[in-house]
Amino acid sequence: MALKSDGALASDAVTTPTQREVYTESVKQHYNFRFGADQPFLPSNATTETGQFINPKAFPTAKYCSHCHQEAHTEWRQSAHANSFRAPWYIRNTNLLTAEKGIEYTRHCEGCHNPIALVSGALTKGSRVNRKFDEDGITCTVCHSIQKVDARGTGSYVLAQPAALLDENNQPIYGEVSDKEILAHLDRHSKAVMKDFYRTSNFCAACHKAALPKQLNDYKWQRAIFLSDEWQLSSFAKQSPLPFYVKDQVSTCQTCHMTREALTTSDSGAKEGKLASHRWLGANTVLPKFYNYDTQMEKTIAFLKAGVFNVDIFGLERNGGKIIAPLGSDNFTVSPGDLLTTTIIIQNKGIAHSHVPEQRDMYESWVEFEAKDSSGRILMHSGAIQPNGDLDPRAHSFTNRLVNTKGTINDLHQVWDNRVVAYNNTIASGRSQLVRYQFKVPADAAGPITVTARVNYRRFDQHFMDFGMGKHYEMPVVAMSERTRTFTLGENPPAVDPQDNKLWMRWNNYGIAMLDAQQYAESGRAFEQVAKLRPDYADAFINIAIANFQWERYDASRASLNKALALSPHNSRALYYLALVERNQGQVDNAIADLRQVIEKFPNSRDAHKELGFSLYQQRKYDEARTEYETLQSIDPDDLAAHYILSIVYRRLGMKDKASHEAAMFADQKDDPTASTYALEFLRKHNEIASETVPWHTHTDSPVEPAANTGTSAR
């Protein structure tokens, strides 16, 4: 029996097993089991510990928790978690889904945005559930009642009926236990509300990874957000040997988003005067403005500007000539009448996932570039906000475009209508992106010429924001990082800029950007410059090898990898790429041996398990291949290669049911070969966007002839 806040037994409790069964049966009488009688919470992957519904009255409010946790409550109230459901733009978006398909489809969204609504059975037509809990969004007793998570995402957690205290037999005491009782048994309170996995990135992955299942879109499984996968592959996690840079220590989601801060009020959960922040600082700049959360806004802006990006005005081309780079290291001349092309390198150095993260179709981050002479005359300006609030359509933006069956943009985040991603222009963690701007120096220009490049961010594009608010609403724009260089008309002698990275790193970031732009020869030349500057740096030779491997120059790739291994014996990154070279040259046994070495040091390397599994499969060692692909699925249940190979391996091992299951998963999750027609039709109509799909393109106000040997496209 539950206790009231004064310590007395609660005669009106709604939390006993019998009462829960009664509640569940009452919900079932009017609940729409559209996705199956045994799957009440689909299309969310969330469930409860018994599979039953939970009365929303069983969830103590955040105000109850604030009795002892004042600081955490204050921070939480201003967070995206606390406002996960009530924000008007979110409600308007889910209302679109309700209008188009029905409220039961919103279970896909609410499994993460409003878990109490999901598990209480409120998400059905004609629901009688009192939804006063909506104001609390993801409240304290949601996260602190999760018993288990897995790697599928889309709300892949098991939620138990909340308990703030365990009894002397470690059994949960439900309801609002008195403060006095909790303070008398802090050890039992801690056991009730804390679990070790709450401090891991896997805990966050339950919601910060998501897919669009067939139950939602009546089409097929589609990947949606995958921050946890990106983190796991990044240098921050230290679970993969493949990142271009290595971090000193592991950083989890909590390391960045729940930093320990000094108390401003009181909180019983603090240690040594500090508390893990429950603001979960991220990139939501609209929410604190709308609700007037000044502290949250101030901290969010500081978070966005805290060394996340390195912007390098790296190179300059005059009149289509050879690139002068890195700028500041060599003498060059600029003259009136010159046609200048600047190369900007944007490095994502401080985020453990891509930029921009999560659903990228309505988030907005872009490069703003401006060139002007000393009189203030603008020679070029790309990435300006237009009078109606829209972003310059020619801007280089870090986003994607989601296209529907009509060949138009899903401009209001109607993800259930997605058919194809027309392009993805985001920057992965630790990677760099190259952006080129071309402008003409007027014959009467007043020197010097100043160029500025900055990475801007605002929460949503203006169209979505205006829809979400039902009116025009201006959003804050944050300049996350920027750089300026000045070009003198005439001679420009070498000049070291203290803001620049070391010369070898500038070349390295340029090489990474060129690699991702599919300019493999130029990428290799950049990495060769790194090797000259740092002949003891094994990764320089590995990077040269990667460029050659992409170009299918396997002998050259092997030679560079051998140099790397001479400098750094048993280097896992070098061994991984050496294994790929060896397999392509028919030396599968050697590849297997090298990949096993990699896995010994990096047991969670999904890439190594995948490649080892395929090598074993090639040798018809099906049991061993099965082990590798099953391990891969324990890391990423949605790996497409694992579904495909296991469908074959299981069948050859006589495991027909498992083979059929994997074949069905592969058929559902593989790309639809016809979907590209929607993207092509959309891009054909939108030249300003189509050029962004070209890995190597130039932003310009002037018509420019494409360079025949580089594939440069003007825009």
Find, among 519, 520, 517, the residue nearest to 346 by Cα: 517
CATH code of the domain containing 361: 2.60.40.3880
Query: For residues 579 and 418, what is the distance between their CA atoms, to the nearest angstrom?
Result: 38
> 37 and 107 share a domain?
yes
Q: How many CB atoms lie within 10 A of CB 392?
A: 17
Look at residue 3 and tell me if it is in a domain. Answer: no
Lowest mean pLDDT, pick from 297-306, 687-696, 706-715 = 706-715
Residue 226: which domain range? Answer: 17-162+195-280
| Closest-CA residue to 354 (of 433, 249, 456, 280) | 433
Q: Is residue 552 part of a domain?
A: yes
Query: Do 569 and 465 belong to one domain?
Result: no
* CA 574/CA 649 separation, integer angstroms: 29
Give the ranges where 291-409 is alpha helix by DSSP (H).
Answer: 294-304
**Strand runs labelled E in 324-382:** 332-334, 339-348, 364-372, 378-382
For 9, the 3-state DSSP assignment is: strand
Is residue 182 within 8 Å of 189, Cβ to Cβ? yes
| 662 in Cβ contact with 646 (< 8 Å) | yes
The pLDDT value given to residue 187? 95
Question: Which residues share a beta bridge with 334?
Answer: 490
- What's the pLDDT at 400? 84
**Do 603 and 479 lie in a common domain?**
no
Cα separation of 580 and 592, whole Å?
A: 10
In a domain, 177, yes or no: no
Of 64, 60, 61, give the one whose Cα is nearest residue 2. Answer: 60
Contacts 24+ apart (CB under 8 A), 14-20: 14/55, 14/57, 14/58, 15/55, 15/58, 15/161, 15/174, 15/175, 16/174, 19/55, 20/50, 20/52, 20/53, 20/54, 20/55, 20/58, 20/161
Local structure of residue 445 (DSSP, 8 states): -
- With b for 16 or more beta-carbon neighbours within 10 A and e for fewer, the 276-300 pattern comes to bbbbbbbbbbbbbbbbebeebbebb
| 10 token code pair | 């609660």
Cα 497 off chain centre by: 32
One domain, residues 143 and 75:
yes
Mean pLDDT computed over 580-595 = 98
pLDDT (tens digit per residue) in 91-134: 999 999 999 999 999 999 999 999 999 999 999 999 989 898 98
Residue 302 lies in a domain: no
Same domain membership, residue 152 and residue 93 = yes
Answer yes or no: do 406 and 551 share one domain.
Answer: no
- What pLDDT does residue 703 have? 52
Tens-digit pLDDT profile for residues 554-570: 999 999 999 999 999 99
Q: For the purposes of burial, counting CB atoms within 10 Å of the CB of 178, is it exposed (0-12), middle (13-18) or buried (19 or more)? A: middle
Query: What's the token pair of residue 467?
Result: 């829809």
Say which residue, 539 or 272, is predicted with more confidence. 539
Does 332 share its domain with 236? no
Same domain for 385 and 447, yes or no, is yes
Residues with Cβ within 8 Å of 318's Cβ and at least 6 positions away in sequence, in order, are 324, 332, 333, 334, 338, 339, 340
Tokens of 568: 């750094």
From 265, 280, 295, give the residue that closes a domain: 280
Copy the structure tokens of residue 528.
């060769």
- Check which CATH number belongs to the domain holding 595 and give it: 1.25.40.10
For residue 328, the 8-state DSSP code is T
Residue 714 has pLDDT above 80, yes or no: no
Higher model confidence: residue 691 or residue 339?
339
Residue 562 lies in a domain: yes
pLDDT in tens, 174-233: 989 999 999 999 999 999 999 999 999 999 999 999 999 999 999 999 999 999 999 999
Burial class (CB in 10 A: 0-12, 13-18, 19+), 255: middle
Question: What are 508's two structure tokens?
Answer: 């390295």
Instruction: Please indicate, yes or no, whether residues 523 and 489 belong to a single structural domain of this protein.
Output: no
* Helix orientation angle between 572-584 and 538-550, rounded to the nearest 10 degrees: 30
Orientation of helix 554-567 relative to helix 538-550, angle to 10°: 170
Residue 359 included in any domain: yes
pLDDT tier for residue 16 given thresholds of 50, 70 and 90? confident
- CA 375, CA 76: separation in Å to the nearest integer? 49
- Residue 493 domain-assigned (yes or no): yes
Fill in the DSSP letter of residue 695. Answer: S
- DSSP letter at 325? -
DSSP of 544-613: HHHHHHHTT-HHHHHHHHHHHHHHSTT-HHHHHHHHHHHHHTT-HHHHHHHHHHHHHH-TT-HHHHHHHH
| Nearest CA among 547, 542, 337 for reference residue 444 | 337
- Which of 280, 299, 319 terminates a domain? The answer is 280
508's enclosing H/E stretch is: helix 503-516
Residue bearing the bigger pLDDT, 449 or 9? 449
Burial class (CB in 10 A: 0-12, 13-18, 19+), 199: middle
Pairing mode, strands 146-149 and 157-159: antiparallel
- Cβ neighbours of residue 199 closer than 8 Å, sequence gap 6 or more: 252, 254
Name the pairing type of β-strands 697-700 and 432-440.
Answer: parallel
- Binned at pLDDT 50, 70 and 90, residue 359 comes out as low
Residue 698 lies in a domain: no
Please check whether residue 512 is in contact with residue 431, taking contact to mean a CB–CB distance below 8 angstroms: yes
Of 206, 207, 177, nearest in space to 192 by CA: 177
What is the CB neighbour count within 10 angstroms for residue 34? 16
Q: Which two tokens stand for residue 136?
A: 């609390």
My answer on whether 210 and 151 are in the same domain is yes
Which DSSP string corresponds to 450-470?
EEEEEEEEESS-HHHHHHHHT
User: 280, 295, 325: which is the final residue of a domain?
Assistant: 280
464 and 530, same structural domain?
no
Cα atoms found within 13 Å of the Cα of residue 573, Cβ hemisphere only:
25
CA distance 532 to 509: 15
Rounded Cα distance, 500 and 508, in Å: 13
User: Would you tell me how many other CB atoms lie within 10 Å of the CB of residue 424?
Assistant: 12
Assign 496 a pLDDT band (cuts: 50, 70, 90): confident
477 against 691, higher pLDDT: 477
The amino acid sitting at 201 is S
Question: pLDDT (tens digit, 9 = 90+) per residue, 237-254?
Answer: 999 999 999 999 999 999
Arithmetic mean of pLDDT, 608-620? 98
Is a pLDDT exceeding 60 seen at residue 3? no
Look at strands 47-48 and 157-159 and give their pairing: parallel
Q: Report how far residue 31's alpha carbon sits from residue 39's, in angstroms, rounded to the nearest whole number.
A: 12
How many domains, the chain? 3
Burial class (CB within 10 angstroms; exposed 0-12, middle 13-18, buried 19+) of 470: exposed
Q: Tell me, what's the pLDDT at 696? A: 82
Q: Sorting pLDDT into bands at 50, 70 and 90, what band is 157?
A: very high
Is the pLDDT assigned to residue 710 strictly greater than 50?
no
Average pLDDT over the chain reads: 93
The verdict on 203 and 146 lying in the same domain is: yes
% pLDDT > 90, the chain: 86
